[in-house]
Structure 1
Amino acid sequence: MMINGEKLDLNELKFMDFLKEKGLKLEFIALELNGKIVPKREFESLILKADDKAEIVSFVGGG
């Protein structure tokens, strides 16, 4: 699988486990999976597969 251009040699990965491992906060990210935006309500049950391509975008506030 590819996440943000980085190849991971895994068959499956729980998306929420990945977020926790990377220290990403759910409320500040968006996910594009295989060219489609994934609603946040689906994050908890989402399992990434070996052939998936994911892009995670983090939002940063400023003033």
Structure 2
Amino acid sequence: MKVLLNGELIQLPEHIINISDVLKHYDIHQKRVVVEINGEILTKLEHQNTRLADKDRIEIVHFVGGG
């Protein structure tokens, strides 16, 4: 399926079916992130249950510490 991820149109592998899979695929599942799908912010509990569909718009923001 093709999705718009952080403004870039990408083809996801077939085994990716939910937001949690996307986070694992990009190795950011251990980080603190905010995920928005089609304009709606998800809670962390919703990552596992939110199934993806072709042409979904996904925004992922993760925080970087610094000073």
TM-score range, shorter chain: 0.7 to 0.9
Structure 1: gaps spanning 5 or more residues: none
TM-score by length of 2: 0.75
**Bigger share in helix:** 1
What is the CA distance between 1:62 and its match in structure 2? 2.0
Structure 2: gaps spanning 5 or more residues: none
> Does the 8 Å contact 2:31/2:62 carry over to 1?
no
Query: How much identity, in percent, do the aligned residues show?
Result: 37
**Superposed CA RMSD:** 2.0
**Bigger share in strand:** 1
1:3-61 CA-partner distances (Å, limit 9, x unpaired): 11121245873211111111103541001111111111101111111121010001112
